[in-house]
Structure 1
Amino acid sequence: MNLKNINQNKYLFCATSLDNDINNKEKKILSGKWCKNSGENFNEKIVKIDDLINENDYVYLQRLVDLYSEKLKTYLNKVHGTNKPCKYWNILVLPWLITYLPCQFYRWKILQETVSISNDLEFIEFQNLKKKHPKTTLEYLQLIRSSDIFNYTIFKNILDFLKKNNKINLKLIKNEKKFVQADKKISFFKSTLFEKILEPIQLLFAKKNSSLIDPNLFKKDIFFKINKATNNNPVFLFNRSLDSKILSSTKFNLNFRNQFEILKHDYIRDKDFERFINTKIFMDLPISLMEGYNNFIKSIESVKLKPKLILSGLEHYHNERYKFWLAKTVIENGSKLIVSSHGGGNQLKFSSCLQFERKIALKKLVWTKPRENNDVQIPSLKIIDNILRNKNAQSLIFLEEPSWKYPVRFEKGLCFKNFKNLKTLKKHLKSEIYSNLLYLPSVSCVREEQSQIKNFLKHQYHDNKTIFHKFKKKSKITICTFPETAFIESIFNGPTILINNFDKKPFFVNQETIVEDFKKNNIFFDDTANAAKHINKIWENPDSWWNTKDIQDLIKQYSSVFCKVEKDPVKTWIKFIKEETHAI
């Protein structure tokens, strides 16, 4: 790229590290911290995405998801020559829409904020960039949260729309950089083995099952126990690797998609954003819902199970073949679909899944008190084998907040937030306490942030990503930086501190009193430095603080609202499944 083509008086908008790294212009606007792969301070202007999204946007996105699920029903029926009801398409489409619409909206808002700084922009246009077309809901999610190329393309699409509609004055700076975008070679040996041998055997076992229970909902011993008690054979169907094989020879077809009209509707709120979505959504739908639709219809012909009850955990999110079978079975067989929330995320007011399951399931099993009409509170099975910590434990456990490089769904986890918290802790903790810190990384993490944290912590960083369960015994005090499953597990184990911005990540409505009580008793903190000072104060004997009547009463109160606990929760689950099956 010839830097002489760049006007030094205009702002250069950088969408990703790809376009930021190839120029040295000082007058830039960066879309986010991901542009520099760093959590350090910036000389350039940077859009702070955490301040762009609010509660009104959450409600707006819920309404948009409802609107587009209805519109796509009509569109997809026309595309495939079918007449399927809305619930059928909701099962297939909603798991994608709850990612697609918020992700597009985040990036739209970033560019809105950019235009408020200057609507006279430059942007680097890569001439040799090949657009990636996700084949499945899962692949879309994987690309949107981590791929520089995929996110660059989305920002480019929005900029093109704004320029075409005279919302910005945009100068494109052409660049001939070549990108290596080789598709990964996938071996289908395991999926073929499953499809040809293991699945037919499993189907024979499941033929007389009155219920089909998702094996990923439970630990294996509990899964077998529940199946036995409900007179079902435990089966492991719908291996996710089959999705790739089913679509291995199916390609994106632009001519096929261009033959259908652009969506039109009465606009809900942000007219320009909705107009943009209307022009792009057909092109962005996963191949599984368009060119590959009939592949999946054919792939489930051999699965002739007709259970009365289907109990699903996470498979109805990202297992494409399972979703096709699920949609068909619920509609044609009248099977009762009950989904189970897999963790403690339901306690947050702004649910990342936008509570979409209310539109596909008869009931949703949750740890918390019900927040939707079809919610049913049921005891957690993750607390059943809670391992109490060693009273002589000396580790200060830091549980990393899961995060991704780019915004995903309606979530406010920011990349490099963990690194910032660590630096604050090092500054304010007594050195003899900080030396006992053990950092447990999440499976969901930003690679660039992990590299910085490893260099910062050295031996205090636990290299193998694992679950908190294995480290409970070693914890003298546990620090959580996100109010979800790990925090719930930890408070039943021993002294726990939660660091959270409760304005950004509030609990669901009418629970403000609990939050304030936890703050007063030094369990909840808005500020990392204050949390460190409290740890300094209680370190010698944290149990004398944690085991007081006030603290233990608070935990019981919290549990009753956010995590139902019973001595024999498996018995309750078995009773529930039996009752639901017999009620059909």
Structure 2
Amino acid sequence: DYEVLPSLWRDFKTIPEKAYYIYDIFEKLIPVVTGYMNSVNNVNFPEKYWKFLVGPWLLSFVGILYDRYSILKAAVEYTNSIQTIISDNGYVPTTYAEVYNLINGDDYNFIIFSDIIKQLDLPLEIDTASHNIKLDNEEKVKSEFNLKGIVSRIKRNCYTALHDLFSPNDYLQIISTELSFRETVKLLKILNHKKKLTPLIRQNAGNNSTNTAYLNKSRKKSLDAISNPDEFIKLISVMVPMHMPKEYIECYTSNREIANRMSVESPNVQIVMLRCPVEINTGIRFYVAERIHEGAKLISFQHGGGYGTKDYISHEELEIDLCDKYLSWGWKSENKNAKDFFMTKTNWVNRCKYNSNGDVLLVGGSCRRYFYNLLEGQVPAYNKIQINYNKRLIRGIDRNLYSTLLYRFQWKFFSYNEIDEVLNDFPDLRISTRENEGHFYRLFYDSRLVIATTNYTAFLQSFFVNKPTLLLWDPEYFTIRDSAKEYYDLLHDAGILYYSPELCAKKVNEIHQNPMEWWMTAEVQAAKNEYCEHFCRITDNMEGELAEVINEMRERKTERKLNV
């Protein structure tokens, strides 16, 4: 017999306040963590270096810790008679990427809860047990460094070697982008720039060492005090050193040596271009951190949906701060580092003919069992609401359309098991998962109509190629900042965005025979186009627009040198 306590995030109206609290603590931690990391690693780097290198992990970890801490506090406030078991041994993640995987399962969360309980004076009856992390979920996400990818990269490098003999410029290094290959080649041609051998950035093999390896004794020390610390901040000061991934401490020196060896191979780099400023790959984070410290400027991009629209602070602010120039997909920011640009996630675009007899593609959300952060997917408290919305939608769709419906789920390793919950009600429903098909683009192009159920990337991509699209979500959760509300209101008024599953189903039934006819009506196109202009702007001259940004940044860098 048990009772499930309400989630910390159940009152959606309080999310902005909680998000601000988490981010405020993160900002206060940066100078403290800078001092700690310099001391532990016997170096002397500025805050900017450490904020880029460990900041993305740190912000997520503060949020994770706040969530787990609040759960325990709520439990002891609910009853003073709790018996529990905690682990008598800990676990230090090897890499930031490993944290991303482990945080979805029970093992690492059990360790985190145990460590919190050990640090707090809670009225609990405690027993201990030995507990080891099971690492069988590490292979759920395919590595980007597979054999096929390496062979393809070698072929491309052989092709570029000859080209580079005749190109004078060598100031730009493209680590990664989500532009198409055609756009990238055109960009380099405009810049008269070497195509450059794509760096085979690798991470230190020591990062994969067993967790029983020697741990730095400094992990037992707390961070220096933050002014006016409360109980939670005191907890953070102990937990951050305990859980800091080994790649930043035990493996720091070797990771940095590898990054610097690669830097020597490209000594003239002034500008680095990176797909995402919160990239989790060890080698990339170290390499870019070193280049930035050497004076290179960083251009990076928005890499998903929801940015510029949420009414609470999140990774959006961190991503902008980490860049010298952050290119949004169209929305404006008061931060001088940000520029309203165009949708740069275009490598998937395929000029396929519209399939008028295709599926109705229902795109679900990222249903995590455990809270991770406010950037990636929805909070767990919204899972049941979203699934209920989607079930009501399915029930409202005419039976003669049911066979055309395809439900696209996110990763199974997020551990919420929403697939079972949906199939229990609709056992013959056709489904697709990311484990079976990593990207949804084939499904997307084979569909006649897309129904997106979150305020994230999927519907922006659908808008981008002018695919008939419906949106469905609970406005109590997907709250919109004031500067963006009018554009969502346009979508709602045009019959694109729905807050009622029944009304959305009614629209599907109404337009399913020819969604494109409805989609191309003046009101619908006007609403979609106005929205795109601010949140997924489209250009036929991506390479020219990007070249302008690069040249402007290079000119400013030259001016600063002359002024000095």
Same fold (TM over 0.5): yes
Matched, 1:380 2:343: yes
Q: Which range moved further: 415-424 or 92-101?
A: 415-424
Distance 2:22 2:38 in 1: 24
- Of the three residues 74, 79, 93, the one matched with 1:134 is 93
- Of the three residues 441, 444, 466, the one matched with 1:469 is 441
Match of 1:172 in 2: 126
Deviations 1:59-78 (A, max 9, x none): 12221111111111111112
Matched, 1:158 2:116: yes
Distance 1:358 1:453 in 2: 38
- Of the three residues 456, 460, 465, the one matched with 2:430 is 460
Aligned Cα RMSD in Å?
Answer: 3.5
Match of 1:518 in 2: 491
Report if the CA contact (8 A) 2:308-2:332 is conserved. no
Report if the CA contact (8 A) 1:389-1:475 is conserved. no
- What amino acid maps onto 1:327 in structure 2? A
Report if the CA contact (8 A) 1:99-1:141 is conserved. no
- Of the three residues 308, 330, 341, the one matched with 2:302 is 341
Deviations 1:286-339 (A, max 9, x none): 11111111111222232212311111113752122222222222222x111121
Distance 1:214 1:171 in 2: 52
Report if the CA contact (8 A) 1:402-1:445 is conserved. no
Match of 2:561 in 1: none
Distance 1:514 1:224 in 2: 35
- Decide whether aligned partners of structure 1 residues 115 and 298 sit closer, same or farther in structure 2, where only a CA change above 3 A counts: same
Report if the CA contact (8 A) 2:28-2:226 is conserved. no
Matched, 1:570 2:532: no
Distance 2:132 2:19 in 1: 39
- What amino acid maps onto 1:373 in structure 2? K
Matched, 1:408 2:372: yes
Q: Secondary structure at the match of 2:551?
A: helix
Q: Which range moved further: 475-484 or 386-395?
A: 386-395
- What amino acid maps onto 1:309 in structure 2? I
Distance 1:274 1:64 in 2: 8
- What amino acid maps onto 2:292 in structure 1? V
Deviations 1:12-38 (A, max 9, x none): xxxxxxxxxxxxxx1x344xxxxxxxx
- What amino acid maps onto 1:428 in structure 2? G
Match of 2:7 in 1: 47
Distance 1:381 1:261 in 2: 42
Pairwise CA distance, 1:534: 2.6
Deviations 1:252-310 (A, max 9, x none): 54561256444312137xx2211111121111111111111111122223221231111
Q: Secondary structure at the match of 2:483?
A: coil
Report if the CA contact (8 A) 1:443-1:465 is conserved. no
Distance 1:542 1:180 in 2: 47
Match of 2:391 in 1: 423
Match of 1:505 in 2: 478
Pairwise CA distance, 1:440: 2.4
Pairwise CA distance, 1:210: 0.8
Match of 1:14 in 2: none
| Identical counterparts, % of pairs | 21
Q: Secondary structure at the match of 1:154?
A: helix
Report if the CA contact (8 A) 2:178-2:344 is conserved. no
Match of 2:562 in 1: none
Report if the CA contact (8 A) 2:207-2:247 is conserved. no
Q: Which range moved further: 281-290 or 176-185?
A: 176-185
Pairwise CA distance, 1:581: 2.9
Q: Which range moved further: 364-373 or 255-264?
A: 255-264
Deviations 1:182-209 (A, max 9, x none): 898999x989x98xx979x899979972
- Decide whether aligned partners of structure 1 residues 208 and 460 sit closer, same or farther in structure 2, where only a CA change above 3 A counts: same
Distance 1:418 1:243 in 2: 41
Q: Secondary structure at the match of 1:72?
A: helix
Distance 1:476 1:183 in 2: 35
Unaligned runs of 5+ in 2: 558-564
- Of the three residues 215, 235, 238, the one matched with 1:276 is 235
Distance 1:445 1:530 in 2: 32
Q: Secondary structure at the match of 2:125?
A: strand
Distance 2:224 2:451 in 1: 48
Match of 1:495 in 2: 468
Pairwise CA distance, 1:119: 3.6
Unaligned runs of 5+ in 1: 1-25, 31-44
Distance 1:351 1:475 in 2: 35
Distance 2:244 2:481 in 1: 32
- What amino acid maps onto 1:423 in structure 2? K
- Decide whether aligned partners of structure 1 residues 316 and 238 sit closer, same or farther in structure 2, where only a CA change above 3 A counts: farther
Match of 1:363 in 2: 325
- What amino acid maps onto 1:357 in structure 2? E
Distance 2:423 2:3 in 1: 29
Match of 2:529 in 1: 556
Q: Which range moved further: 170-179 or 284-293?
A: 170-179
Distance 1:496 1:389 in 2: 16
Deviations 1:556-577 (A, max 9, x none): 2101111111122232223322
Report if the CA contact (8 A) 1:252-1:291 is conserved. no
Q: How does 1:39-118 map to 2 (within 5 A)?
A: 45-47=5-7, 49-51=9-11, 54-118=15-79
Q: Secondary structure at the match of 1:503?
A: coil
